Structure 1
């Protein structure tokens, strides 16, 4: 783990990419996530990599994805800190164009909301829809059922607010 941590911090882009790829593979197994969560040298180097604007955005996004996966859904405060970091270092825009920046009421526990969205199976529409949805305030993540044209939204706002956001985006 020590060597992997050192490779993540490498100035050599190729070495860094390979190390991040290895950590992605490690993080794919639940038992390894606990180990990664408790290895502060890897965690700190992943954090530094995300914040390093001189590194390629794709590697920085991969590192951010690892951090999210390792934290899981139960570490809300840390997830919010990662979202703030993502905004600060320019890996994400503050809010999608055309989406209200209204301050929605935050719910106690994040919820899953399933909503039918006509046209979701169109690749162009999906790309724009997804880009704007995940950048909306209160939206944590989204997944899709393409055949049924359903979006499943994991959010920190009410189901009513999620529906309003989806309506604004989908037109």
Structure 2
């Protein structure tokens, strides 16, 4: 490649990239993009690092594999399982795995082995304290009594009284 052609080509490169190319050095590596993992920021320690959290939430488990046998076969490698809940929180692709201690749960959480040989299955620390805060506002409204049903019931009750005395 001729010197004239090389200089023309380098002029079209961004300033930073041109500098590294002129020095003959490799460009520095970019930091890993943790957002690609579906989480924000670098891996976080469990909420209660004092050793209290023994439960892991598993999400995006295919329905055919979301049963006690399959989950026990996979997670049993990491320690003693004391409880497995499938269809956790009504999600047919969710599960909750509870280990006998935090250390065993942590080994399972940090394992690089794909859960049930499926890289789309994700494992999170179970944090029951944040469940109420993370609920959508519409879900919180469902927990409170709706006044419209009470008014409708009272109206029907009042009509029954009037008809009985009439």
Give TM-score scaled by structure 1 length.
0.20
The structure whose Rg is larger is 2
Give TM-score scaled by structure 2 length.
0.21
Relative contact order (C-alpha < 8 Å, sep 6+): which is higher?
2
- The structure that is helix-richer by fraction is 1
